[in-house]
């Protein structure tokens, strides 16, 4: 009679198809019989991550030799050479050592066939699963772990029809997996071919180990002792495995079909090329590339060195295989070298009347800049060519620096190319990359010549004051060769490794300020200052340029939306006081958007009518501006007046500005001098100098000699959130302190600028044009300027200097008499 219990031990052999050890008889009471090779009743225990080990499974086991070396040594000291492996989920450990609660109840005892050799490979050994074990009691809960175990047996009659049917189903499922997964080895096929139907439990364990199921699912099968239940679960895993394998096969088949189609198309194209070549219809890639490059060279005037280099590269191209990497490098080089316009130039239009008309058409105001550009063009007309000059346009944002460069190109009839240097940190952007680098390209100037197709374009270098430097090099230093008329006739690009003549290029650079431009680079350029616009110039620009441009951009016609001059002037004075007109353009665009919203709402919700059916018209006056743009951002400026208050003039990157300076005596308890208003170091020094000068000359200016001895004086420059610095506020601070000491206020609108020395001398300052514009904007028509700046004021255009009464001071005595004495002598102020 067949026992209803079976044994799942595997033979000690390494081959998966090796003979399985004979089953052990199971007593009716269920107590285990003694096996042929007796397993110990206590085992050393090693946790295994990822997935559990099964009886009959033979594979290497990896471990941390530092952590489990002691356990392996203890096992090797035993004569039986067996150890228990139990699955422990690494996610439960939280980075610490496993504890008894982390181990499952059931594991697999394995025999070490190739124990780890400490000196060779201490972290790996070859193990063969023997049979299941169940932990009865823990003998040691610290590494090396040791437990008392028992060896449960599979439950169920292995000779029953149900078990045999399940065994055949499992075997069939494994056979179906073989053609779907190429990872299964020949040993697996050999095992299935020699499968012993008397070992259904081992078949179930072996089949479960083949799957890619997770550790928890496999542990559940390891702990399932009834044969029928275990086989049901294994069949479920095999079914999922088959579905995944079939899906993977479909994906692989689709990919292979695409690859096959591409290969077929490639072969057909190659065959077509060969047929066309035999018939003389077409040429191969190498021949066609060489002919194309030769055709480009026919229209060029190549220097001898360039012709020699290109001929060498063409010769190299003729012997290289089209599929080689070197062929691609050489082909790209020739592609660039033959597209540089060697010797090709466009004819300049040197008609000064035409140039003046273009500048006046594109720009209102900026008369001094226009005159300088016309002088530059006149010299070129006299010589017969324009070369050798590099113009630098410096001014606040929005004054038209970039558009002037485009106008110069239009006036000359030259091609125009612009790129920005702002934030550029790589020297290779200027001089190109070496050909040895992957993805190498020429520099920006060779790229510009390739695009414009002539050797004498107008190239605009925008934001030259914002160029950077990094570990990749200093682009500003690389520009020295480009912007030097004595050197740029032989500019060397690193990619081409050829001398390129840039002397015929007209370079126009733009910057907001000069402080950040390196001195050697600045020395190579001719500086033209654009100081900004007064209200009258802004009005003309808005009427003649900005408003028509915005009408076109918003799809409006001139008769649909009109704005009168008082409204434009109100927008300029109340919303756009900066030096440029960029913000003015934004405000005009905002007016149009608001007006279009009104047009759309006025059409109602009925049928959408065409523009021809409904022609909306609106005239915008000064009263409409507040509704369209909100409350004014700026209120009319009134110069501050009072004892201890003086108005200065300052230069900023945004243009000129008025700078009121206030001084006050806080108390008479002790002597002191306090400065506020975020003043820079230079301005603080100016304040200290002015304070010392006024104290040492109180009698000369009829002040109380003891005024400052017991006075705590506070000097403040309003708008404290704005940093202020610069050597031009000396006489303004001294005037405020004299006014405080005399207890006399300045009785008329008056602004001043100039630096003061300890001996009372008034030193010249910069930015006279910007400061005069700021004074006119604030409606201050009487100024005090340093005598050394008389020439700067006299060079201003008439529309700026007209109506302004200027006093030129050599020393502070002149300033004092102008401020506090002129009104007593009855001088005419305007």
754 close to 785: Cβ distance less than 8 angstroms: yes
Query: Distance between CA atoms of 576 and 535, rounded to whole angstroms?
Result: 10
Show the CA angle centred on residue 613, arms to residues 610 and 619, nearest 5°: 100
- Please state the length of the chain: 830
Among residues 617, 771, 801, 828, which one is catalytic? Answer: 771
DSSP 3-state of 247: helix
Query: Distance between CA atoms of 121 and 412, rounded to whole angstroms?
Result: 81
Query: Distance between CA atoms of 582 and 580, rounded to whole angstroms?
Result: 6
Query: Distance between CA atoms of 782 and 786, rounded to whole angstroms?
Result: 14
Burial of 596 (0-12, 13-18, 19+ CB in 10 A): middle
Q: Which of 769, 804, 803, 748 is nearest to 649 (CA)?
A: 769
**71 in the Ramachandran plot: left (φ > 0), alpha (ψ -120 to 50) or beta?**
alpha
Tell me the helices (H) and strands (E) count for the chain, helix number first: 28, 26
DSSP for 507-550, please give it.
EEEEES-STTS-HHHHTTSEEEE-----HHHHHHHIIIIIHHHH
Structure-derived torsion over alpha carbons of residues 714, 717, 719, 722, reported in degrees to the nearest 10: -110
Catalytic residue at 674?
no
Sign of CA dihedral 187, 192, 195, 200: positive
Catalytic residue at 771?
yes
% helix / strand / coil in the chain, to the nearest 5?
A: 45, 15, 40
Give all strands (DSSP E) within 304-375, no chain letters: none
Among residues 595, 663, 711, 728, which one is catalytic? Answer: 728
Query: Distance between CA atoms of 458 and 439, rounded to whole angstroms?
Result: 28
Query: Distance between CA atoms of 503 and 455, rounded to whole angstroms?
Result: 9
Active-site annotation, residues = 728, 771
């Amino acid at each position: 009679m067949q026992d209803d219990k079976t044994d799942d031990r595997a033979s000690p052999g390494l081959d998966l198809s090796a003979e399985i050890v004979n089953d052990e008889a199971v007593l009716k009471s269920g107590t285990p019989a003694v096996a042929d090779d007796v397993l110990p009743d206590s085992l050393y225990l090693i946790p295994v991550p990822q997935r559990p080990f099964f009886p009959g499974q033979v594979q290497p086991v990896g471990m941390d030799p530092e952590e489990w070396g002691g356990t392996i040594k203890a096992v090797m000291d035993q004569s039986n050479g067996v150890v228990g492996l139990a699955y422990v989920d690494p996610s439960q450990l939280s980075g610490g050592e496993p504890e008894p609660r982390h181990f499952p109840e059931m594991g697999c005892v394995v025999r070490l066939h190739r124990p780890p050799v400490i000196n060779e490979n201490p972290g790996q050994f070859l193990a063969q699963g023997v049979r299941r074990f169940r932990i009865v009691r823990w003998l040691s809960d610290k590494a090396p772990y040791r437990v008392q175990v028992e060896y449960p047996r599979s439950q169920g009659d292995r000779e029953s029809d149900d078990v045999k049917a399940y065994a055949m189903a499992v075997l069939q499922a494994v056979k179906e997996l073989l053609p779907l997964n190429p990872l299964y080895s020949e040993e697996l096929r050999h095992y299935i071919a020699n499968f012993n139907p008397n070992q259904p439990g081992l078949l179930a364990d072996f089949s479960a180990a083949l799957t890619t199921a997770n550790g928890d699912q496999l542990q559940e099968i390891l702990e399932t002792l009834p044969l029928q239940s275990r086989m049901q679960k294994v069949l479920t895993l095999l079914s999922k495995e088959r579905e995944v394998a079939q899906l993977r096969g479909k994906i692989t088949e689709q990919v292979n079909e695409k690859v096959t189609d591409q290969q077929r198309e490639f072969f057909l194209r190659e065959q077509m090329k060969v047929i066309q070549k035999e018939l003389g219809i077409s040429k191969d890639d190498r021949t066609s590339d060489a002919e194309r490059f030769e055709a480009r060279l026919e229209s060029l005037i190549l220097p001898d060195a360039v012709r020699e280099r290109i001929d060498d590269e063409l010769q190299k191209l003729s012997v290289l295989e089209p599929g080689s990497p070197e062929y691609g490098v050489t082909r790209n080089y020739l592609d660039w070298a033959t597209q540089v316009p060697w010797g090709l130039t466009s004819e300049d239009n040197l008609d000064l009347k035409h140039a003046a008309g273009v500048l006046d058409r594109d720009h209102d105001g900026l008369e001094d800049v226009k005159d300088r550009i016309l002088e530059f063009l006149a010299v070129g007309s006299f010589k017969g060519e324009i070369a050798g000059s590099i113009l630098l346009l410096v001014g606040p944002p929005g004054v038209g620096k970039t558009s002037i460069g485009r106008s110069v190109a239009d006036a000359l009839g030259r091609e125009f190319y612009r790129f920005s240097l702002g934030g550029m940190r790589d020297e290779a952007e200027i001089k190109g990359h070496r050909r040895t680098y992957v993805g190498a390209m020429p520099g920006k100037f060779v790229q510009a010549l390739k695009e414009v197709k002539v050797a004498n374009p107008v190239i605009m270098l925008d934001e030259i004051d914002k160029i950077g430097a990094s570990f990749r090099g200093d682009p500003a230093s690389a520009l020295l060769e480009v912007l030097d008329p004595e050197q740029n006739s032989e500019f060397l690009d690193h990619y081409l490794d050829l001398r390129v003549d840039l002397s015929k290029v007209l370079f126009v650079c733009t910057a907001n300020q000069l402080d950040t431009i390196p001195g050697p680079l600045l020395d190579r350029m001719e500086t033209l200052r654009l100081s900004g616009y007064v209200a009258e110039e802004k009005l003309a620009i808005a009427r003649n340029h900005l408003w028509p441009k915005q009408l076109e951009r918003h799809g409006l016609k001139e008769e649909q939306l009109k704005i009168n001059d008082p409204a434009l002037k109100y927008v300029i004075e109340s919303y756009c006081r900066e030096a440029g007109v960029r913000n003015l353009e934004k405000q005009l665009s905002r007016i149009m958007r608001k007006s279009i919203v009104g047009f759309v709402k006025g059409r109602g919700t009925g049928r959408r009518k065409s523009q021809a059916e409904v022609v909306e018209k609106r005239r915008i006056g000064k009263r409409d501006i507040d509704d369209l743009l909100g409350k004014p951002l700026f209120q009319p400026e009134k110069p501050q007046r009072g004892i201890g208050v003086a108005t200065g003039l300052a230069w900023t990157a945004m243009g000129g500005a008025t700078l009121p300076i206030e001084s006050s005596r806080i108390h008479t308890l002790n002597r002191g001098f306090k400065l506020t208003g975020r003043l820079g170091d230079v301005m603080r020094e100016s304040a200290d100098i002015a304070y010392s000068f006024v104290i040492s000359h109180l009698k000369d200016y009829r002040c109380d000699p003891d005024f400052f001895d017991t006075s705590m004086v506070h000097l403040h420059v309003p708008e404290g959130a704005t940093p202020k610095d610069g050597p031009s506020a000396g006489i303004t601070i001294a005037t405020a302190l004299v006014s405080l000491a005399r207890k006399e206020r300045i009785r008329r609108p008056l602004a001043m600028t100039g630096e003061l020395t300890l001996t009372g001398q008034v030193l010249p300052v910069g930015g006279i044009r910007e400061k005069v514009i700021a004074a006119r904007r604030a409606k201050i028509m009487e100024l005090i300027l340093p005598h050394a700046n008389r020439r700067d004021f006299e060079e201003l255009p008439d529309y700026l200097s007209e109506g302004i009464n200027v006093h030129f001071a050599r020393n502070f005595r002149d300033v004092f008499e102008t401020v506090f004495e002129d009104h007593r002598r009855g001088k005419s102020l305007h």
